[in-house]
Structure 1
Amino acid sequence: MIIGLDVGGTHTDVVLLGQEGLVRQNKVSTNPADLFTTVLSGLEKITDGIDPQCIKRVVLSTTLATNRIVQQRMPDVGMIISAGPGMDPELFRTGPHYHVVSGGIDHRGREIAAVDADEVLKVADTLEQKGIRYVGVVSKFSVRNPVHELAIQEALGERFEKVFLGHRIAGALNFPRRIATTFLNASVYPIHKEFFEAVVNSLAQKGLNLPIRILKPDGGNMRFDASIDHPAQTVLSGPAASVMGTVAFAPQSDTCLAMDIGGTTTDMAVLVNGVPLLDPMGIKIGEHKTLIRSLDTISIGVGGDSVVRVVDGQIHIGPDRLGVAMAYGGPVPTPTDAMFILGVGEGGDLEKSREGIQALADELGIDVETAAQQIYDKACQTILDEAGAMVERINAKPVYTVHELWEGSRLQPRHIMVLGGPAPWFAKGLERLGDCPVEVVPRWKVANAIGAGLARTTCDVTLFADTEREIATAPEESFTKTIPSSYSKADATAMALDLLRKKAIARGANADHLELEVVEAMEFNMVRGFFTSGKNIRVMAQVKPGLIHGYDPIAEKIMGDHFV
């Protein structure tokens, strides 16, 4: 059996999956101030009477980190940047606690300027005085040689709770994106650590002492304990769960939009012939362009519980959420309250919803039903507009699925698949205001947890080789090996795939069903005078994201139950 658990900003969904399909499901309110109780209560009904030995895997996803970034509720973190000559690192400033220090590494990994330890110590003093607890350290070309990042970390000692090094975050080259990625890792670490401890303690209390995995933004998963050093890999794990929950039921010969409408955000992606699109460069979340390999998704601050305001005589929805709808005892009116008034939604205290929407109607100078209709339409139209903008953005660049470069005509989604608690309520408005049919995903309330549970383990490796220096490195994996001057791109590819296989198995992948692929293999001659002095080789390889081997009977059973 498999447990899939999705911790959202509003609700936590838990499912128990078996060969008979969806065995059990549970939905509880998320209390960010008490994640331990949230997770434990979510597991109570799921595991009641179940032999722990029957549960083979637990896969989690969460929108907690994503919501913090979208709502701009991140702690202050320090950044120490060593750039050397060239582009001005001030162009990539992440905030007020951003410090540039001496030191430089060239594009081949050779030191051209040393780190000044005394300078680093002065920066550390300043950060400590500001109460900074989490620090990111990035040196340009650290993926070719991490010696400067390691030296800065050594100088910092034990003065900070957590220090993140850029070369451990991602193996690909891109200095500005590495800064942003390292900054996000430091920023979301506190909430992820709290989530990590809550999950581990909750499962231990239930007697489930088994390996735990967490969904990554590329639609695969990784060992939960490894995520403490890569907390930004949980950013967009919630949207990835939504996508993977849709993949299990999506048509295999069509293009569709997948939308997970939650209480805080709406997450969107495009599926081509049942396969999600991939952002090969790295996701952009908020203002941050990163090296986090991800499914091509967007998250917008519009959901069922988004705050509705009147600003300059116009309805304004989100991006913040201050609690549940007024119908459920919340403090401010939301789109859910508007839907209750229109008879689209169900449950809750209608009079409380009417009270909240009436205050907005008075500001607008209209009756409460008209205000409710305008709020509902505004929420649906905002989602459709953002979806349209996403499709146009995708069509403006090369399109990559998680399996390959897709070289076809312009993408034109033929229908929309929605999931999430209020999905059926929003579906009516989306279909009326849009130009294609809208379908509710089977088990829409917990489809994200199903997607998390069915996702396979993935990872990637980037290998660099310099035949003149006779060295091959994968700094993210702490791997260095001497190579002969005759070393070739084929040798590098074989080494990268071997590293990838070992890494995937260590992270919990099924060794009998690994699907490995080379994403990029590049080779450049290095010339001195009139002669080739060596080759610079780069190989990137990944385990293809997708659903676990043998998932079909589970999905088919869930689909059948949906239509009973």
Structure 2
Amino acid sequence: MPYRIGIDVGGTNTDAVILDDQLTPIAKIKTPTTADVTTGIYQAMSLVLNQTTLDRSQIKYAMLGTTHATNAVVERKRLNQVAVIRIGLPATSAIKPLTGWPEDLKNAIGNMQYLIHGGHEFDGREIASLDEEAIRSIAQKVKGKATSIAVISVFSPVSNEHELRTAEILREELGEIPISLSHEIGSMGLLERENATVLNAALVDVAKTTAQGFIEALAREGIQAKVYFGQNDGTLMAVEYAVRYPILTIACGPTNSIRGASFLAKTRNALVVDVGGTTTDVGVLVNGFPRESSMAVEIGGVRTNFRMPDLISIGLGGGSVIRLTESEVTIGPDSVGYRITEEARVFGGNTLTTSDIVTALGKAQIGDPQKVRDLDRKQLEPVYAQMIALAEDVIDRMKTSAEPMPVILVGGGSVLLPDELRGASEVLKPEHLEVANAIGSAIAQVSGQIERIFSIDEYGREGALNLAKEMAVQEAIKAGANPETIEIVEVDDVPLAYLPGNATKIRIKAAGDLAL
């Protein structure tokens, strides 16, 4: 098995690792995340490569877990100009596309919305025939203005026919323009699926630029490797797939940590507590993969319904600011972040942080303990107890039963927490825990997932499941998996009593090793 390099961008640090052909870390580095993200990635790559004399031609895979997409939405920068086409008239006109979106985000993507006749009922019948002339007319209107298009048809997870035909017509009129189709991105609910699809369309150029920059940086270091991006289900996707579905990179950092924790601790079912510089993220490992959230998720003020990891984040990290007054103690949620080496007391700064507390109490050694010798231990003990209580509370909220379960501690800030926690049957602190996220990115498999409604009357239950499995396997192959190694890792089958035809919603995930 060839060598591989994994890089993961966090809010405070960018981590990089090199794994040998046995997936053993041979070099690792943490470097502060930069404001533009990209510079930090290049620095981490250069530093980790300089730690080893490895012949760089041996590195055949490069994996990147990045916050580029999240940052672009939050900052409203570098987004595509998106034409939104909703297929559903004469129905669906009561709530316009982008309703509830923040005004500045609507303006950032061009605020171009069109409703046309077409779409399907929940049982697959046409609401109206597709208005092909309207599509050609819209194409002429947006020519030269839109740089990406989002197409959303009513009940397209039941029938994707109108979305596919719309994409065909748009390509005839406009040539090769990025088109995001909602049946490939979100699940049933129209508005949330529409929102996810529009965000995906808005992020295409961000993904392209990030991918090109990463490939060029590798080439500068003499590495000719296959490049993969981290997805938010703890698996990878090839560059071409990432450029098509950039929204799937959102929240990939915490899932990389969960996968890395599973790999390092050799445990497939546990709670993972990832303590960074700014936040502590707690997720659940189920059969080696992150548990998925069943809730709609907000991204940059927009409600979406595409798959996301089930996580709780709290403002507790190595750089969290501590405020002590006579009446109360507050921990975070603000953090000095990547400025910790300048602002924390242990590094000669003037801001009291959680790192100063654990160092002053002798629980860990960060920076120079002499610089916090003047702190009153009696005053600090209750603060430390409060820090532990914050973590124990979130562990309790993530468990599905009262029974204690294993907890894996990872992340550079994991020194903040003790070897025993309430609600944990055991606390595991594996070797290389500080770069678990980069390791999770490097060892991840490639996956494909589908979520569709099938008619049991038409296919039979076994037939529907087999068809769904085959579709998921094809998605995994498209994302870059080796067909011979693909396994079905998740099956979810929910009968829908309110739909005719004995309908059932099937969600299936297939995962396999990287294609050589």
Short-chain TM bin: 0.7 to 0.9
SS in 2 for 1:446: helix
1:118 to partner: Cα distance: 10
Contact 1:101 1:119 in 2 (8 A): no
Per the alignment, do residues 45 and 544 of structure 1 end up closer, same or farther by CA in structure 2, a change over 3 Å counting? closer
What is the match of residue 27 of structure 2?
24
Contact 2:280 2:316 in 1 (8 A): yes
1:213 to partner: Cα distance: 1.5
What is the match of residue 367 of structure 2?
348
- d(CA) in 1 for partners of 2:405, 2:208: 41
- 2:515 pairs with 1:507: no
Contact 1:59 1:452 in 2 (8 A): yes
What is the match of residue 199 of structure 1?
214
Contact 1:307 1:319 in 2 (8 A): yes
So what's the TM-score if we normalise by structure 2? 0.75
Contact 2:477 2:483 in 1 (8 A): yes
Contact 2:412 2:433 in 1 (8 A): yes
- Aligned residue type for 2:285: L
- Aligned residue type for 1:448: N
- Aligned residue type for 1:264: T
Residues 253-268 of structure 1 aligned to structure 2 (within 5 Å): 256-268=270-282
SS in 2 for 1:445: helix
Residue number among 404, 423, 438 corresponding to 2:414 in the alignment: 423
Identify which range, 176-185 or 449-458, moves more after superposition.
176-185
1:109 to partner: Cα distance: 6.0
Identify which range, 513-522 or 304-313, moves more after superposition.
304-313
- d(CA) in 1 for partners of 2:6, 2:212: 18
Q: Deviations over 1:295-316 (max 9, x none)?
A: 4333334322245568997625
What is the match of residue 398 of structure 2?
390
Residue number among 59, 62, 67 corresponding to 1:58 in the alignment: 62
Residue number among 427, 439, 447 corresponding to 1:458 in the alignment: 447
- d(CA) in 1 for partners of 2:324, 2:114: 47
Per the alignment, do residues 61 and 150 of structure 1 end up closer, same or farther by CA in structure 2, a change over 3 Å counting? same
- Aligned residue type for 2:42: V
- d(CA) in 1 for partners of 2:463, 2:210: 41
Residues 516-527 of structure 1 aligned to structure 2 (within 5 Å): 516=488, 519-520=491-492
Contact 2:296 2:304 in 1 (8 A): yes
- d(CA) in 1 for partners of 2:498, 2:177: 42
Residue number among 166, 176, 195 corresponding to 2:182 in the alignment: 166
Per the alignment, do residues 319 and 141 of structure 1 end up closer, same or farther by CA in structure 2, a change over 3 Å counting? farther
Per the alignment, do residues 80 and 247 of structure 1 end up closer, same or farther by CA in structure 2, a change over 3 Å counting? same
- d(CA) in 1 for partners of 2:140, 2:350: 46
What is the match of residue 38 of structure 1?
41
1:267 to partner: Cα distance: 1.7
- d(CA) in 2 for partners of 1:492, 1:432: 45
Residues 303-318 of structure 1 aligned to structure 2 (within 5 Å): 303-308=317-322, 315=330, 317-318=332-333
1:333 to partner: Cα distance: 4.7
What is the match of residue 9 of structure 2?
7
1:330 to partner: Cα distance: 7.2
- 2:84 pairs with 1:112: no
Structure 2 residues not aligned, in runs of 5+: none
SS in 2 for 1:89: coil
Per the alignment, do residues 88 and 383 of structure 1 end up closer, same or farther by CA in structure 2, a change over 3 Å counting? farther
Residues 452-491 of structure 1 aligned to structure 2 (within 5 Å): 452-462=441-451, 490-491=462-463
- Aligned residue type for 2:95: P
- Aligned residue type for 2:390: T
- Aligned residue type for 1:60: L
SS in 2 for 1:244: helix
- d(CA) in 1 for partners of 2:372, 2:336: 16
- Aligned residue type for 1:58: A
What is the match of residue 401 of structure 1?
none
1:414 to partner: Cα distance: 2.8
1:223 to partner: Cα distance: 0.7
State the Cα RMSD in Å: 4.7
Contact 1:142 1:149 in 2 (8 A): no
What is the match of residue 249 of structure 2?
234
- 2:154 pairs with 1:140: yes
- Aligned residue type for 1:348: G
- Aligned residue type for 2:53: G
Contact 1:9 1:32 in 2 (8 A): no
Per the alignment, do residues 372 and 200 of structure 1 end up closer, same or farther by CA in structure 2, a change over 3 Å counting? farther
What is the match of residue 94 of structure 1?
101
Identify which range, 219-228 or 186-195, moves more after superposition.
186-195
- d(CA) in 1 for partners of 2:350, 2:114: 47
1:458 to partner: Cα distance: 0.9
Contact 1:427 1:440 in 2 (8 A): no
What is the match of residue 471 of structure 1?
none
- Aligned residue type for 2:31: V
Q: Deviations over 1:124-163 (max 9, x none)?
A: 69x97xxx97775533223423636875994998799966
Identify which range, 452-461 or 150-159, moves more after superposition.
150-159
- Aligned residue type for 2:45: G
What is the match of residue 470 of structure 1?
none
- d(CA) in 2 for partners of 1:352, 1:44: 29
- d(CA) in 1 for partners of 2:431, 2:337: 29
